[in-house]
Structures are given as structure tokens and as C-alpha cells.
Structure 1
Amino acid sequence: METEHKAQVTALLVAGRRPGTDPLAAHFGVEDKALIAVAGEPMLSRVARTLVDHPDVARTVVLAQEPERLLAHPGTAWMAADARISTLSGGNSVSAAVAAALETHPEGWPFLVTTADNVLLDAETLTGFVSGARAAGTDVAVGLVPQEVFARAYPDARRTWLKFRGGAYSGANLFFLARPAALSAVRFWQRVERERKKVRAIAGAFGPVLLIGYLLRALRVESALARAGARLGVTAAPVRLDRPEACIDVDKVEDHEIASAILAARG
């Protein structure tokens, strides 16, 4: 019996720097956060290796203001010579860089989006997310880690939790854009980034019923994403991940310490 062919994904690896001085980069004495070393390797290099070595990923595009400069670092030089990796220059807007990549690579659907500080991303997590996103069958899928999964493994670590009816979740910096319809969600992301008062922008786009439902924790995460997607003209769903490390990115010195310890334990 023939099996259904599943197209490989194009991975968009967001590695841009924020305007001004990044406090974490300054703490570690580098100009770009993506070049901070964790367990002896720049974060950008570590995430790129996971992506290019995964069978679901056809190519990886590094998005940054000056990607060539990032790839000139001794710890990332291998990336400049790897035919599976390309770069795309962008401004200070992550959403604009992602939108440009989607338009520049129309042959690349579906797309996976992740970030250079997602240093604990491994093959198992990536496989689980991609398979879950495909199974969801939606235009957009978002990786989330349930609070109870994380708390069992790291009871003393702090995360930011989005609270819904039935549970709280933390983002895993993993997004699956299945088809061109997902561009409308990226365009909304651009609007929110441009809007100084972001809560007002979100309320205006999603409407008061959806916003109040979230604030009162009256919606399950599936319903919240489905309704939000409907307002944007897309279908959207969560992908629950059972790997607690999936929601640990490196934004603070504390995160760097946790990630370093986990990578050391992995050997």
C-alpha cells in the first residue's frame, strides 16, 4: 500500500537582535544574543544543527539584520558553507522578516518557525511538533507545553504561563505554517508589532467576547486559538508537547544556567 507523501518543511530560524543593547548579550560580552555560547557552542549554531540534521527539514533560512556577520563567527562558520542553509536580511521586525521569507520562498511550504535562543530543541521535540502540527490539519499550529508537564520536571523554575480553562501553557517558540493562508496571521502579527498599545490592537482584531473569554479563563486553549484564527481568516490549533524542556528558551541568565545544566546532563 502506498503511503501519503509528506513534504519536508522549510525552517525559518529567527536570529535578529532587538533595537538597542540586549542585556543578556551584554552580560556575556557579545553583540548579538544569538552568538551567546551555551555548553560551549553559540546558540544559533546549536539550533541550526538540530534543524539541518532532521529528516523533516529540507532547508533552513536564517533571518537576521546582518546574517552574514552572524555566520562569520568562528562558532557558526560551518553554517556559511552548508548548502542546506541560506540567509535573508531583515529589519527589526520579526514578523516582517518572516513575511518576507514566506514571499521569497513560495516553493517552501510548509514552514516551521523557531528562534536561535531555543537551544534545547532536539530531534525528539521537533518530530513530535511537526507530526502534531500535520495531524492538526490547520493553517497555523503553535507548540505549547502544559504547566503540569513542566512543573513535574522543574518545580522551582519560572516560566510565563497563559491561563485557559482546563490548564495553563507556556510557548515553545515553535510555529507551523502549513499553507499560504497562514500569511494573514503573520500580517496581523506585523500590525500588533507596530501598534504601541498592543492590548488595544489585539482587542480590536479579536473582539471583546474573545478577549473577555480569555481574561475570565472561560475558553479552552483549542477554542481560543480556533476563534482567534477565524477572526484572521485562518484555522489554528495548539500542539501540546510532553517535553518540558521545549518551553525553556534563553532570555535571562537564569535560563542560561538551566539550559547549560540540561545540555551537560544530555552529554
Structure 2
Amino acid sequence: MARAHGVALKALIEIAGTPMIARVVAALRASPSVGRIVIAAQQVEALRAVLPETDRIVLREAEATPARTVGAILAETGAPLLVTTADHPLLTAEMVESFVAGLPAGADAAAGLARAEIIRRELPQTRRTWLRFADGDYSGCNLFLLSTPTASNAVAFWQRLEARRKSPWRMALLAGPVTLLLYASRRATLATILRRLGRRAGARLAAIDLPFARAAVDVDKPADLALVQTLLEPLVESSLEHA
């Protein structure tokens, strides 16, 4: 997608006149719960020109994989650490604050999810990859919270899964064959799967149910980009009219 749009990184693709990464950073800067913002990427210097000059933003080269990058930043900053992605241009401060406020007591690490019925109602045209459980279908929202030092165990578990990504059977052994069978048969609830994975990871895992359909939309393919453009351009035009 970056090549198709003539930019060095996908995060620099402009939507309604603004690079995706700039939209994400604006949402984070507007969130009272967010302090320092660490941005990691390959060719990270390519991002500097589109970002505001502020001591709150730190740029660093990414590690070889996403899990290793998050692990390195967590080791540097400590918990709590909010993680999101640069291809999340619909992110808002309201979403971030709702996510942080929804963290269950005692959770070491949490992921944001949106229910399928909310997404289908507001964005019937979008195609998502659904996580299917006995108590409902969800889509991920590219929001993660590593809330305690024990979250480093969850990141280490992610790194082990990532290292086995070319060998599905080894990933299955690590996650637990029974857990995968329960998930595949849709006989287990979301809470059950998280509890079983948490025991494997050595951390208490949680899901935070978000009421925002748009929180589940990232830009992985051209159809996603077209959808986001359709959603954002009217907002930009309205703001210009009232400027």
C-alpha cells in the first residue's frame, strides 16, 4: 500500500489531507491518560516531518518483529504501557479513555474488542475478521494495555508464539490444543479462553468491551482505506465550513 501511494511507510498515507500516523498521534495527545508517546518503526526518521515537535514524542527504530518491539519498549518504560498501531486513523481520545477506564481490576494485560452487532449496525459495509466465542463475535480494536509488570510475561508468550508463526502445530502446542479445540468449536466463552491463555502466559488477561464500531477499523487493505476516507472526509469538510 505504501508503494501504491508513493510513500516510504504505510503510516504516511494521507486520508483527507492528513497522514494516518498524524491522526493517531493527535488522538493520543488529546487523551488525558497518555503521557509520553513512543513511536517505533522501520525508517522511523521518515515520520519526523509529519509529527509535531514536542518532548512528549520519542522516535525509535523498531525491532525485527512487533512482539520484540513491544517487549523492548516495555523494558524501557515499564508498565502501564498503552499499545496501538499507526494504521488506526479513526482512533479518538474518547476511545482511548473508554479503553483505559474499562480495565478490569487485577488484569495484567488487556485487549480492546468491539462486538460484531455494534460494528454491523454502524458499518455494514466493512469486512472484518471475527473472533468467535460461545457468548458472541468480536473484532479486535488494535488497543492493548500492559498494566502491571507481570504483563512482561504476556509479551514473552506473544514472542514465543511469533517465533513459531511458520509452524502452526508448534503454535498450537504452545497455546494449548484443548484451548484451540474449544475455540474452534465455539464451545468456550471469551472469558474462558482468556483464562486458559493467561495460565499459559503467566499473566492475568482481560478483554475490554468497547462501544465504538470505528475502533475496530484499521487500514490493512485498499478497501479499508476507502472506507476510512468515506468516514473522515465529511468530518473534514464540516470542520472547514465552520472554521
* TM-score, reference length from structure 2: 0.92
> For 2:163 and 2:200, how far apart are their aligned partners in 1?
19
> For 2:197 and 2:31, how far apart are their aligned partners in 1?
31
- Maintained 8 Å contact 2:118/2:212: yes
- Maintained 8 Å contact 1:88/1:101: no
- Maintained 8 Å contact 2:31/2:94: no
AA partner of residue 51 (structure 1): L
Task: Give the number of the structure with larger relative contact order, counting CA–CA contacts within 8 Å between residues 6 or more apart.
Answer: 2
1:2-17 residue pairs with structure 2 within 5 A? none
2:35 maps to 1:35: no
Q: Which residue of structure 1 aligns with residue 151 of structure 2?
A: 182
2:90 maps to 1:120: yes
The CA deviation at 1:88 is 2.0
Q: 1:196 to 1:143 in 2, by over 3 A?
A: closer
- Maintained 8 Å contact 1:214/1:224: yes
AA partner of residue 41 (structure 2): A
Query: Tell me, what secondary structure is at the counterpart of 2:2?
Result: helix
- Maintained 8 Å contact 2:165/2:171: no
User: Out of 215, 224, 227, which is 1:258 matched to?
Assistant: 227
User: Out of 108, 127, 131, which is 2:101 matched to?
Assistant: 131
> For 1:54 and 1:158, how far apart are their aligned partners in 2?
28
> For 2:17 and 2:189, how far apart are their aligned partners in 1?
41
Q: Which residue of structure 2 aligns with residue 12 of structure 1?
A: none
- Maintained 8 Å contact 2:8/2:46: no
1:89-108 residue pairs with structure 2 within 5 A? 89-106=61-78
User: Out of 146, 152, 155, which is 2:115 matched to?
Assistant: 146
User: Out of 51, 55, 59, which is 1:83 matched to?
Assistant: 55
> For 1:124 and 1:85, how far apart are their aligned partners in 2?
20
Query: Tell me, what secondary structure is at the counterpart of 1:180?
Result: coil
Unaligned segments of structure 1, at least 5 residues: 1-23
> For 1:88 and 1:184, how far apart are their aligned partners in 2?
23
The CA deviation at 1:61 is 0.3
Q: Which residue of structure 2 aligns with residue 157 of structure 1?
A: 126
> For 1:206 and 1:194, how far apart are their aligned partners in 2?
13
The number of equivalent residue pairs is 236
2:37 maps to 1:60: yes
- Maintained 8 Å contact 2:164/2:171: no
1:209-248 residue pairs with structure 2 within 5 A? 209-248=178-217
Query: Tell me, what secondary structure is at the counterpart of 1:263?
Result: helix
Q: 1:201 to 1:183 in 2, by over 3 A?
A: farther
AA partner of residue 11 (structure 2): A
The CA deviation at 1:249 is 0.3
> For 1:164 and 1:196, how far apart are their aligned partners in 2?
23
Identity among equivalent pairs (%): 41
Q: CA RMSD in A?
A: 1.4
Residue deviations 1:89-147, cap 9 Å, x none? 223301111111011123xx2110000001100011111111012x3430011100110
> For 1:35 and 1:193, how far apart are their aligned partners in 2?
26
> For 1:97 and 1:53, how far apart are their aligned partners in 2?
24
> For 1:201 and 1:58, how far apart are their aligned partners in 2?
38
Q: Which residue of structure 2 aligns with residue 21 of structure 1?
A: none
Q: Which residue of structure 2 aligns with residue 171 of structure 1?
A: 140
Q: 1:257 to 1:39 in 2, by over 3 A?
A: same
Unaligned segments of structure 2, at least 5 residues: 237-243
